[in-house]
Amino acid sequence: MSATPLLQCSGVSKSFAQVHALVNVDFEVRRGEVMALVGDNGAGKSTLIKCIAGIYPFDSGEVRFEDEVVHIHGPRESAALGIEVVYQDLALADNLDVVANMFLGRERTRSGYMLDEQSMENDARETLDSLSVTTLRSVRQAVGGLSGGQRQAVAVAKSVMWNSKLVILDEPTAALGVAQTRQVLELVKRLAERDLGVVIISHNLHDVFEVADRITVLRLGQQVAVLNREDTTQQDVVHAITAGTLTHVPGMQDTGAEVSE
Protein backbone atom coordinates (compact mmCIF):
# COMPACT_ATOMS: atom_id res chain seq x y z
CA MET A 1 0.00 0.00 0.00
CA SER A 2 1.50 3.31 -0.98
CA ALA A 3 0.90 6.52 0.89
CA THR A 4 0.23 8.82 -2.07
CA PRO A 5 -3.42 8.61 -2.96
CA LEU A 6 -4.32 7.15 -6.34
CA LEU A 7 -7.50 9.19 -6.39
CA GLN A 8 -7.99 12.26 -4.26
CA CYS A 9 -11.17 14.31 -4.24
CA SER A 10 -10.79 17.52 -2.24
CA GLY A 11 -13.82 19.53 -1.21
CA VAL A 12 -16.04 18.26 -4.00
CA SER A 13 -19.69 19.35 -4.10
CA LYS A 14 -22.65 18.44 -6.25
CA SER A 15 -26.17 19.79 -6.22
CA PHE A 16 -29.28 18.80 -8.11
CA ALA A 17 -31.55 21.85 -8.14
CA GLN A 18 -32.18 22.52 -4.44
CA VAL A 19 -30.75 19.25 -3.21
CA HIS A 20 -27.17 19.29 -2.01
CA ALA A 21 -26.14 15.75 -2.80
CA LEU A 22 -22.49 16.28 -1.90
CA VAL A 23 -21.13 19.11 0.20
CA ASN A 24 -17.41 19.75 0.41
CA VAL A 25 -16.49 16.07 0.49
CA ASP A 26 -12.93 14.81 0.83
CA PHE A 27 -12.37 11.29 -0.42
CA GLU A 28 -9.25 9.38 -1.28
CA VAL A 29 -8.16 5.92 -2.35
CA ARG A 30 -4.62 4.57 -2.34
CA ARG A 31 -3.09 1.95 -4.54
CA GLY A 32 -3.51 -1.56 -3.20
CA GLU A 33 -6.15 -0.45 -0.75
CA VAL A 34 -9.79 -1.41 -0.37
CA MET A 35 -11.70 1.71 0.59
CA ALA A 36 -15.26 1.09 1.73
CA LEU A 37 -17.81 3.81 1.13
CA VAL A 38 -20.70 3.53 3.56
CA GLY A 39 -23.68 5.62 4.53
CA ASP A 40 -27.42 5.53 4.79
CA ASN A 41 -29.72 5.81 1.78
CA GLY A 42 -29.40 9.27 0.29
CA ALA A 43 -26.03 9.90 1.92
CA GLY A 44 -24.46 10.63 -1.45
CA LYS A 45 -22.52 7.41 -2.11
CA SER A 46 -23.92 6.87 -5.58
CA THR A 47 -23.58 10.53 -6.51
CA LEU A 48 -19.92 10.46 -5.49
CA ILE A 49 -19.04 7.43 -7.60
CA LYS A 50 -21.10 8.63 -10.54
CA CYS A 51 -19.19 11.93 -10.49
CA ILE A 52 -15.89 10.04 -10.29
CA ALA A 53 -17.03 7.87 -13.20
CA GLY A 54 -17.85 11.02 -15.17
CA ILE A 55 -21.57 10.43 -15.46
CA TYR A 56 -22.08 13.94 -14.15
CA PRO A 57 -19.50 16.57 -13.27
CA PHE A 58 -18.73 17.89 -9.79
CA ASP A 59 -19.96 21.46 -9.24
CA SER A 60 -16.82 22.43 -7.40
CA GLY A 61 -13.76 20.94 -5.78
CA GLU A 62 -10.64 19.32 -7.11
CA VAL A 63 -10.04 15.77 -8.30
CA ARG A 64 -6.50 14.46 -8.55
CA PHE A 65 -5.72 11.12 -10.17
CA GLU A 66 -2.15 9.84 -9.87
CA ASP A 67 -1.18 13.28 -8.59
CA GLU A 68 -2.55 15.09 -11.65
CA VAL A 69 -5.54 17.37 -11.51
CA VAL A 70 -8.17 15.85 -13.79
CA HIS A 71 -11.53 16.97 -15.10
CA ILE A 72 -13.63 13.98 -16.04
CA HIS A 73 -16.31 14.82 -18.59
CA GLY A 74 -17.72 11.41 -19.38
CA PRO A 75 -17.51 7.66 -18.81
CA ARG A 76 -15.09 7.38 -21.75
CA GLU A 77 -12.66 9.78 -20.08
CA SER A 78 -12.75 8.02 -16.73
CA ALA A 79 -12.17 4.70 -18.51
CA ALA A 80 -9.21 6.24 -20.33
CA LEU A 81 -7.72 7.22 -16.97
CA GLY A 82 -8.11 3.64 -15.74
CA ILE A 83 -11.25 4.02 -13.65
CA GLU A 84 -13.81 1.22 -14.03
CA VAL A 85 -17.15 1.01 -12.28
CA VAL A 86 -19.04 -2.24 -11.75
CA TYR A 87 -22.63 -1.14 -11.26
CA GLN A 88 -25.10 -3.10 -9.23
CA ASP A 89 -26.98 -4.36 -12.28
CA LEU A 90 -23.63 -5.53 -13.74
CA ALA A 91 -24.57 -4.55 -17.31
CA LEU A 92 -24.04 -7.98 -18.83
CA ALA A 93 -25.82 -9.25 -21.93
CA ASP A 94 -27.34 -12.59 -20.88
CA ASN A 95 -27.44 -13.98 -24.40
CA LEU A 96 -23.72 -13.47 -25.02
CA ASP A 97 -21.00 -15.72 -23.68
CA VAL A 98 -18.42 -14.76 -21.09
CA VAL A 99 -15.77 -13.74 -23.62
CA ALA A 100 -18.16 -11.59 -25.64
CA ASN A 101 -19.32 -9.83 -22.49
CA MET A 102 -15.81 -9.15 -21.23
CA PHE A 103 -14.88 -7.58 -24.56
CA LEU A 104 -18.22 -5.89 -25.26
CA GLY A 105 -17.68 -2.60 -27.04
CA ARG A 106 -13.92 -3.19 -27.19
CA GLU A 107 -13.83 -6.25 -29.41
CA ARG A 108 -10.49 -7.13 -30.90
CA THR A 109 -10.34 -7.64 -34.65
CA ARG A 110 -8.07 -9.45 -37.05
CA SER A 111 -6.96 -7.70 -40.23
CA GLY A 112 -9.08 -4.75 -39.26
CA TYR A 113 -12.60 -6.05 -39.38
CA MET A 114 -13.05 -9.72 -38.36
CA LEU A 115 -13.51 -10.54 -34.70
CA ASP A 116 -10.40 -12.14 -33.26
CA GLU A 117 -12.21 -14.71 -31.13
CA GLN A 118 -9.14 -16.71 -30.23
CA SER A 119 -7.10 -13.87 -28.89
CA MET A 120 -10.11 -12.60 -26.93
CA GLU A 121 -10.84 -16.05 -25.53
CA ASN A 122 -7.23 -16.52 -24.44
CA ASP A 123 -7.08 -13.16 -22.68
CA ALA A 124 -10.46 -13.63 -21.03
CA ARG A 125 -9.28 -16.96 -19.64
CA GLU A 126 -6.01 -15.50 -18.49
CA THR A 127 -7.74 -12.69 -16.64
CA LEU A 128 -10.21 -15.05 -15.00
CA ASP A 129 -7.37 -17.38 -14.01
CA SER A 130 -5.34 -14.55 -12.57
CA LEU A 131 -8.31 -13.69 -10.37
CA SER A 132 -8.65 -17.38 -9.48
CA VAL A 133 -12.20 -17.52 -10.76
CA THR A 134 -12.50 -21.27 -10.80
CA THR A 135 -16.20 -22.00 -10.94
CA LEU A 136 -16.84 -21.16 -14.58
CA ARG A 137 -17.38 -24.26 -16.66
CA SER A 138 -16.53 -22.57 -19.91
CA VAL A 139 -15.78 -19.06 -21.09
CA ARG A 140 -18.04 -19.85 -24.02
CA GLN A 141 -20.99 -20.30 -21.69
CA ALA A 142 -23.78 -17.74 -22.01
CA VAL A 143 -23.75 -15.34 -19.09
CA GLY A 144 -27.48 -15.83 -18.51
CA GLY A 145 -26.70 -19.33 -17.27
CA LEU A 146 -24.31 -18.22 -14.53
CA SER A 147 -25.03 -17.92 -10.84
CA GLY A 148 -25.10 -14.50 -9.18
CA GLY A 149 -21.57 -14.86 -7.86
CA GLN A 150 -20.25 -16.00 -11.22
CA ARG A 151 -21.90 -13.05 -12.94
CA GLN A 152 -20.32 -10.69 -10.43
CA ALA A 153 -16.96 -12.35 -11.05
CA VAL A 154 -17.34 -11.88 -14.80
CA ALA A 155 -18.27 -8.22 -14.32
CA VAL A 156 -15.26 -7.67 -12.06
CA ALA A 157 -12.91 -9.51 -14.41
CA LYS A 158 -14.26 -7.36 -17.24
CA SER A 159 -13.38 -4.25 -15.27
CA VAL A 160 -9.77 -5.25 -14.62
CA MET A 161 -9.02 -6.29 -18.19
CA TRP A 162 -8.26 -2.82 -19.42
CA ASN A 163 -5.19 -1.88 -17.37
CA SER A 164 -7.52 -0.27 -14.92
CA LYS A 165 -6.04 1.31 -11.82
CA LEU A 166 -9.16 2.02 -9.83
CA VAL A 167 -12.15 -0.34 -9.65
CA ILE A 168 -15.36 0.86 -8.05
CA LEU A 169 -17.86 -1.82 -7.00
CA ASP A 170 -21.43 -0.75 -6.26
CA GLU A 171 -23.06 -3.16 -3.79
CA PRO A 172 -21.32 -6.23 -5.24
CA THR A 173 -22.75 -8.61 -2.64
CA ALA A 174 -26.26 -7.22 -2.32
CA ALA A 175 -28.04 -10.04 -4.13
CA LEU A 176 -25.79 -12.93 -3.19
CA GLY A 177 -25.98 -15.87 -0.83
CA VAL A 178 -23.41 -16.58 1.86
CA ALA A 179 -21.02 -18.73 -0.15
CA GLN A 180 -21.12 -16.48 -3.20
CA THR A 181 -20.60 -13.37 -1.08
CA ARG A 182 -17.48 -15.01 0.29
CA GLN A 183 -16.21 -15.65 -3.24
CA VAL A 184 -16.79 -12.09 -4.33
CA LEU A 185 -15.09 -10.68 -1.25
CA GLU A 186 -12.08 -12.89 -1.94
CA LEU A 187 -12.06 -11.46 -5.43
CA VAL A 188 -12.13 -7.91 -4.04
CA LYS A 189 -9.10 -8.68 -1.86
CA ARG A 190 -7.26 -10.09 -4.86
CA LEU A 191 -7.84 -6.86 -6.78
CA ALA A 192 -6.12 -4.92 -4.01
CA GLU A 193 -3.28 -7.44 -3.98
CA ARG A 194 -2.73 -6.56 -7.63
CA ASP A 195 -2.06 -3.01 -6.45
CA LEU A 196 -5.30 -1.64 -7.78
CA GLY A 197 -7.26 0.89 -5.82
CA VAL A 198 -10.64 -0.56 -4.91
CA VAL A 199 -13.74 1.28 -3.75
CA ILE A 200 -16.56 -0.88 -2.46
CA ILE A 201 -19.98 0.47 -1.65
CA SER A 202 -21.90 -1.71 0.74
CA HIS A 203 -24.69 -1.63 3.28
CA ASN A 204 -23.39 -4.78 4.86
CA LEU A 205 -20.90 -3.79 7.54
CA HIS A 206 -19.94 -7.39 8.06
CA ASP A 207 -18.71 -7.53 4.47
CA VAL A 208 -17.05 -4.14 4.82
CA PHE A 209 -15.09 -5.23 7.87
CA GLU A 210 -13.99 -8.35 6.10
CA VAL A 211 -12.35 -6.66 3.11
CA ALA A 212 -11.86 -2.95 3.72
CA ASP A 213 -8.60 -1.33 4.80
CA ARG A 214 -10.27 1.99 5.44
CA ILE A 215 -13.85 3.15 5.63
CA THR A 216 -15.21 6.49 4.48
CA VAL A 217 -18.57 7.37 6.02
CA LEU A 218 -20.96 9.74 4.26
CA ARG A 219 -23.97 11.28 5.94
CA LEU A 220 -26.41 13.63 4.26
CA GLY A 221 -23.94 14.46 1.53
CA GLN A 222 -21.04 15.14 3.85
CA GLN A 223 -18.03 13.10 4.78
CA VAL A 224 -18.26 12.51 8.52
CA ALA A 225 -15.47 10.03 9.13
CA VAL A 226 -12.55 8.18 7.59
CA LEU A 227 -11.72 5.20 9.75
CA ASN A 228 -9.01 2.57 9.73
CA ARG A 229 -10.67 -0.79 9.95
CA GLU A 230 -8.14 -2.02 12.48
CA ASP A 231 -8.80 0.84 14.86
CA THR A 232 -12.56 0.79 14.74
CA THR A 233 -15.61 -1.31 15.45
CA GLN A 234 -18.86 -1.86 13.62
CA GLN A 235 -20.57 0.16 16.33
CA ASP A 236 -18.36 3.17 15.67
CA VAL A 237 -19.23 2.96 12.00
CA VAL A 238 -22.96 2.65 12.68
CA HIS A 239 -22.70 5.66 14.95
CA ALA A 240 -20.95 7.68 12.27
CA ILE A 241 -23.55 6.67 9.68
CA THR A 242 -26.51 7.68 11.84
CA ALA A 243 -25.12 10.48 13.97
CA GLY A 244 -21.79 11.58 12.49
CA THR A 245 -20.92 15.20 13.06
CA LEU A 246 -22.04 17.46 10.24
CA THR A 247 -20.02 20.53 9.42
CA HIS A 248 -22.70 22.13 7.27
CA VAL A 249 -26.34 22.50 8.20
CA PRO A 250 -28.29 20.50 5.67
CA GLY A 251 -31.05 22.29 3.80
CA MET A 252 -29.53 25.73 4.23
CA GLN A 253 -27.73 27.57 1.47
CA ASP A 254 -24.07 26.91 2.08
CA THR A 255 -22.28 30.23 2.47
CA GLY A 256 -19.06 28.77 3.67
CA ALA A 257 -19.79 29.68 7.29
CA GLU A 258 -19.37 26.62 9.42
CA VAL A 259 -21.73 25.83 12.20
CA SER A 260 -20.05 25.14 15.47
CA GLU A 261 -21.35 22.25 17.46
Partner 1 sequence: MTDDRDRTDAVQPDDAGAVPADVLAEQADHPTIPAATPGTSQPTGFGDYFTLWTERLRAGELGALPIGLGLLVIFITFGILDDTFYTARNFTNLLLQMTVFATIAIGVVFVLLIAEIDLSVAFVSAVGGVVMTLLLRPDDPGWPAWAAIAVALLITTTIGWLQGIVITKAGVPSFVVTLAGLLIWSGVVLVLTTSASQVGTIRIQDDFVVGILNAFLSDQAGWALAAAVILGFAGVNSWTAFRRRRDGLPSKPTSVIVIQTVALAVVTIGAVWYANSDRGVPRATVFLIVFLLFWSFVASKLRFGRHVYAIGGNPEAARRAGINVDRVRIMVFMIMGFMAGVGGIMAASRLRSVSTAAGGGNLLLLVIASAVIGGTSLFGGQGRVISALLGALIITSIENGMNLLGLASGTKFIITGLVLLGAVLIDAWAKKRRTAVGVG
For residue 64, which amino acid is it? R
Question: Are residues 199 and 228 in contact, defined by beta-carbon separation less than 8 angstroms?
Answer: no
Taking the complex as a whole, the smallest distance from the CB of residue 22 to partner 1 amounts, in Å, to 23
Closest CA to 259 of 10, 23, 9, 16: 23
Told to check if 152 binds partner 1 by CB under 8 A, we report: no
Closest CA to 215 of 27, 53, 44, 46: 27
Restricted to residues 119-148, the positions that interact with partner 1 (CB under 8 A) are 121-122, 125, 128-129, 132-147
The binder of partner 1 chosen from 78, 183, 222, 223 (CB under 8 A): 183
Cβ-proximal residues to 137 (8 Å cutoff; 6+ apart), any chain: none
Taking the complex as a whole, the smallest distance from the CB of residue 49 to partner 1 amounts, in Å, to 14
Told to check if 114 binds partner 1 by CB under 8 A, we report: yes
Rounded Cα–Cα distance for residues 147 and 153 (Å): 10
Taking the complex as a whole, the smallest distance from the CB of residue 183 to partner 1 amounts, in Å, to 5
Told to check if 245 binds partner 1 by CB under 8 A, we report: no
- Torsion, CA 159, CA 204, CA 58, CA 221, rounded to 10: 180
The binder of partner 1 chosen from 94, 204, 238, 258 (CB under 8 A): 94
Helix H or strand E encompassing 125:
helix 117-130
Taking the complex as a whole, the smallest distance from the CB of residue 168 to partner 1 amounts, in Å, to 14
* CB atoms near residue 21 (< 10 Å): 21
35-43, 115-123, 210-218, 222-230 -> range binding partner 1 (CB under 8 A):
115-123
The binder of partner 1 chosen from 21, 52, 98, 215 (CB under 8 A): 98
- The residues with which 167 forms a beta bridge, in sequence order, are 84, 198
Told to check if 211 binds partner 1 by CB under 8 A, we report: no
18-26, 36-44, 58-66, 95-103 -> range binding partner 1 (CB under 8 A):
95-103
Cα angle 164, 84, 13 (rounded to 5 degrees) comes to 120
- Interface residues with partner 1 (CB under 8 A) are 75-76, 87, 89, 91-96, 98, 100-101, 104-107, 109, 113-115, 118, 121-122, 125, 128-129, 132-147, 149-150, 177, 179-180, 182-183
